[in-house]
Chains A and B, each alone.
Chain A
Amino acid sequence: MIDKKAQVGETVTWVVATVIIIVILTITIIASGLIWKDKEIQSQYFSSADIITSKSFFSYLLTEDSERTIYSQVKEEGNLNENNGNRALRVFDSFNEDYSNIMLEKIVKEEKNFAY
């Protein structure tokens, strides 16, 4: 009788151990499958600068408006005026989704009451 109890106890231990091993293994397999489902490397991991946006921004600042570059206008006036503000809205309209929180966009949004 004692022998039988000991055997049952040992068997239960092994069954529980097996269940634990299988559960851990299943969790690991599912987790690895979820983590590495898309082995897609996106550009933001590598590019330190958005070349196209920086080119547009550079061109925008160098554009002459009222015989002065927009850069010198902003520098002197401390903010965008009606003309260059409206132009910024048109130039950077396509960048809204990617750069919704950069400073120029903030200025532009505040000045959005310009006729546009």
Chain B
Amino acid sequence: MNHKGAEKILSVYWFAILFIVAAGIVYMVFSFYGKPYDIRELETNALADKAADCLNYGGYMNENWQNLEDENFLSECNLNFNVESDFEWENDQYYVEIKVSDFNSNQELKKIAVGNHNLRLNCAVESDNFPVCLEREMYSFDKANSQYKITILSVVRKTEKNT
């Protein structure tokens, strides 16, 4: 009789342990797969690279770089910011700002800014819930040997999708 009672208690104990272990595994799996990968830094890099490609090719400034304006930058550089249909986003998750300055005098020669301008304001804040910003500098020159410093700022928001 005593032996049977002990077995009953033991089986309850085993179920309790089984439940605890299963709950632990479920928690671990959920904590890993429940959060998406944050690829925004990759996206800012890709965006900056595309912008750099558009201005500089083969070591020289592209011949038509002076014709680039806010209005035609996306089409000239084969960029499309309207690619996210989730969360009712409409073309407002990206921002690119390019400043071309004279390398020697540092005088700003051209500024191009496309995308959601408000995103730039959040660049000072470093948090997962804010846009990811990347600023790079590049040196280039044209065939007349004029030298330029190009500053590229790329910003990606898409917070809901990456955090």
Contacts and interface: CB of A to CB of B under 8 A. Distances in A.
B100 to A, nearest CB: 13
B40 to A, nearest CB: 8
Contacts, number: 85
Interface in B100-140: 103, 136-140
Nearest to B2: A3
A11 B48 CA distance: 65
A91 B37 CA distance: 35
Interface residues on B, range: 35 or more
Interface in B47-76: 48-49, 52-53, 56, 58-60
A19 B141 CA distance: 69
Nearest to B16: A18
Contacts of B39: 41
B35 interface: yes
A40 interface: yes
A37 to B, nearest CB: 9
A36 B37 contact: no
